[in-house]
Structures are given as structure tokens and as C-alpha cells.
Amino acid sequence: MSRPNEEGLYTLSNRQGMRVLVSARGATLVSWLTPDSGGRMADVLLGYPDRSGYQDNSTAYFGALVGRWANRIDGARFTLDGVDYQLDPNDRGNHLHGGGTGFHQAEWTARQDDAGLSLTLESPAGEGGYPGTLKVAVRYELNDDGALSIVYEASTDAPTPVNLTSHPYFNLNGGASDIGDHLLSIAADDYLPIDSTGIPLGVEPVDGTPFDFRQPAAIGPRLRLDEQLKNKQMKDALGFDHCYSLRGGRSAEPREVARVFDPATRRTLTVSTTEPGLQFYSGNYLEGVIGRRPEPYAIHDGFCLEAQAFPDQVNGPDAEAVILRPGQVYRQTTIYRLGV
């Protein structure tokens, strides 16, 4: 069994020379060093300069595993089996990413072996306002093809909503510029328009909108279409922060749902998942965040592709699909693969 380095980080590596650094604080993906088409190494993840930044990772959630509920719950409340629950309202009156005591703030128990890194956490009943004690396990493995698999499992002693995701910010050029030149494609015909606080207003087709990434398109020009992005009452839109309804819904095995290509470095990122939704976030609130480079981050310096259930689904007609009950096991697999 390996131990963390002096900074408390565990290392996963492969034959390509890739290195992924993981912290037990928030089960966080801290760094991913990977070569470009010329063999030059760079870190394609955004993050804080040292461990102190991760002690309160509640602004950007850099690389963290977030839960019990990824994304937002309207009004920070839901009803389950006839009982009303009030959660931590930490985002404009809504509940975001598990609240102030979410999994991104927790010290996970880590155990590394030759194949990967396993982390476990027990969330007591009442934490963040949630019912039931939830036991969570996540497994990170990096293979020689550049695929980082994230396998989640959870069990509970009382019914509770569960929706987990990983929150890494990518910039495939290693931070040499923003993400504007990145070409993105998403296997989704529909997306969820949102109100001014990020709560979904339904489901609409992407056809004829800036949200249509069914064919590869540069992110930058879409970010400049301000009036089109400020749709459906989203009056303070700074970019994308929307969930896509992926083709085929939830699947038993991971399937490829998104691809990103950086023309400058020829790096490619693919995302595969078992989940029905994919949140595309274009780093709208990165302005002024102190990270690992000499100057602060700026808006759109990184992007997130977060595989998950749908925002506020616990208050929708398909709520039962996100309720974990005793005797059941929550399972999810998401794979990020980097290559050139």
C-alpha cells in the first residue's frame, strides 16, 4: 500500500508519462500532467497553488467529488415519502453541491494499491439536512491508454436522494489561453434551460440554439452570443452552466457522450458515462480566483463536463430514480480519457 507524498497527494501514473494527483480532501483531482502532440507535458487541470486552497473549496470546487447532491435543488428543499426536508441553502436560496458540509469538504479515507486509489466516506444522517447515513466509495484508476475511470458506489440505512459527480476544470492547452478555441461535441439532442438561479425550466431541443454541440463547434464564438445565451429568464448569463439530456438516458455500461479537441496542442478529451445528464460549465465565475499560475484565473479559463442526474430531479416527476433506499446500491461510472 502506497502512502501520500509530503503534500498529502496520491499519484496515479501510466506508461505515457501521465500523472494524476489526488487528494483525500474532497476526493479531489488536483492535477493531471499529460503530453501534447509534441510530447510536451502540461497540467490540464485548474487548481489551487497549495493544499491550503482546498481547505475551503466551496467557491470553485476544483476537482472535487461533490454530493450528496451534485448541482442544484430548488429552494433547498424536497419531500420524500411524505416528509419535508430542508437542506443547506448555499446558492441564491437553492442547495448546491451538497451545501457547506458537502463531500468536497470532507476528509476521505484513502487506500492505494498497484491498480489505483480507493476512497471511502460515511456521511451521517442529518448532514446538510439529508436523511439516512450514507456510505460512499469511489475508485480512481488510470490506464495506459490515458483513461481515468471513476467508479462510485453508495449505500444507505434510510431513503435519501443521491446524485454524485466529479468537478474537474479542464484546459487542454495547459492554461496558455482560455477555452475559446476548444472544439466541443456533446451527444445530446435536448438541454435544460434554466432560470436566473440555475434551476431548470423544462427540457428543450438544442436545434437552432447556441446549445447545439451535436457537431464539433468552437466554444468561444458561442460565449459571445450573449443575447442567445440569456434565454429563458437567465438574465445574468456569463456563459454555459446547463445540463444536457444525453441520448439513451442512463446506461448499464459507460458510453462516449462528449469530446473536446484543442487545435493548438492536439490534445483530445473524451467523456464516457453511465449517467443520463451532463452539465457543461464554461468557468463563468473564475474571475479573480487564485490558482497555480502567477496571475489569477479569468472567466472561461477552464470548463467542466460533469456526468450526473438532472438538476432538481428530486423535485420532479422522475424523483424516484434518484432516491436510494436501504438494500439498494448506487452505482455510477464516468471515464475521462486524454490523448492526442
HEC string of the chain equals CECCCCCCEEEEECCCCCEEEEECECCEEEEEEEECCCCCEEECECCCCCHHHHHHCCCCCCCEEECCECCEEHHHEEEECCEEEECCCCECCEEECCCCCCHHHCECEEEECCCCEEEEEEECCCHHHCCCCEEEEEEEEECCCCEEEEEEEEEECCCEECECEEECCECCCCCCCCCCCCEEEECEEEECCECCCCCECCCEECCCCCCCCCCCEEHHHHHCCHHHHCCCCCCCCCCCEEEEEECCCCCCCCEEEEEEECCCCCCEEEEEECCCEEEEECCCCCCCCCCCCCCCCCCCCCEEEEEECCCCHHHCCCHHHHEECCCCCEEEEEEEEEEC
Residues taking part in catalysis: 167, 306
